[in-house]
Amino acid sequence: MKRPSLIVITGPTASGKTGKAVALARALDAEIISADSRQLYRGMDLGTGKDLDEYGEVPYHMIDICPAGYKYNLYEYLRDYQQAYDDITGRGKQPILCGGTGLYVESVLKGIQLPPVPQNDALREELASKSLEELTEILKQYKTLRNNSDIDTCQRAIRAIEICVHYHENPHLKVKTEPHPLSDALVVGVAIDREARRERITARLKARLEAGMVDEVRRLIEGGVPPEDLIYYGLEYKFITQHVIGQLSYEEMFTLLETAIHQFAKRQMTWFRGMERRGTPIHWLPYDLPAEAFVEEVLKLMS
């Protein structure tokens, strides 16, 4: 059986991607590279759903590589992904990319390389007073690969605009960012219907709160991470931080966060459907397929 250069396991939040990727890694003696934009940060564990105990003896990469508060970007991800990929394949192992950040997954599959984008202080000052809705409208003017599913704070939107403006003002960089798609990657999506997804999101949120997610955010703030930096990451860190600093009651935090995660999962699915329209075939397998059966189906796809 000829193995693909890369196997991708993706899907929306709460679909059970990690467990299935781990089962596949065990079957293939493979290693996992994370494609999750929040699991990169140390100390942000419950809120990002790292579930590190699921990996067991399976080696993983691109998790816990940055301090909380840092603002990691796509340029850095593609650079660090390539290092991890070269390390894994250099040892004769099979790499499996697992995660739901569509921008990371699609950029890897398209073979995109990015030059670094410097901070534009004048532009940031100009955009500082605009709302998230206004910033999103500005972003729509630029036709470039970007992940709107992850842009749920003004800071992230401003950084996305900053990148778009830099490429617009430096058209010679476009040649460097031309895609070189991987020809033999296998992309498997974990399919979950809307109702089951909603139930799992709510149950998982309750479990993580009971496990101490509010205390995790409190520890990060007490450890010196500014609240505005945690709010930048969106979702759990945005709403729980607002609760910890007294802007939201516990009930308000839970309701707003639950709604935001449901909306996030919907945007993820929109991104994956867009990937398919843009030419990336995704082989969807049911979320409730037992791990052994899931592995069997992936092995069939490989053959």
pTM: predicted TM-score of the whole model, two decimal places:
0.85
Quick one: pLDDT at residue 145?
52
Quick one: pLDDT at residue 148?
54
**How far is the C-alpha of 274 from the C-alpha of 146, rounded, in Å?**
12
Quick one: pLDDT at residue 110?
94
Average pLDDT over residues 126-131: 94
Quick one: pLDDT at residue 107?
93
Confidence band of 270 (pLDDT split at 50, 70, 90)? very high
Quick one: pLDDT at residue 225?
97
Confidence band of 150 (pLDDT split at 50, 70, 90)? low
Please check the confidence at residue 88 and state whether its pLDDT lies above 80.
yes
Q: What is the pLDDT of residues 165-189, one digit of tens each?
A: 988 888 887 776 778 889 899 999 9
Mean pLDDT value across the chain: 93
Quick one: pLDDT at residue 112?
86
Which of these ranges, 120-134, 147-161, 194-208, 267-281, has the smallest mean pLDDT?
Answer: 147-161
Q: What percent of the chain has pLDDT over 70?
A: 96
Which of these ranges, 81-95, 125-139, 228-242, 264-278, has the smallest mean pLDDT?
Answer: 125-139
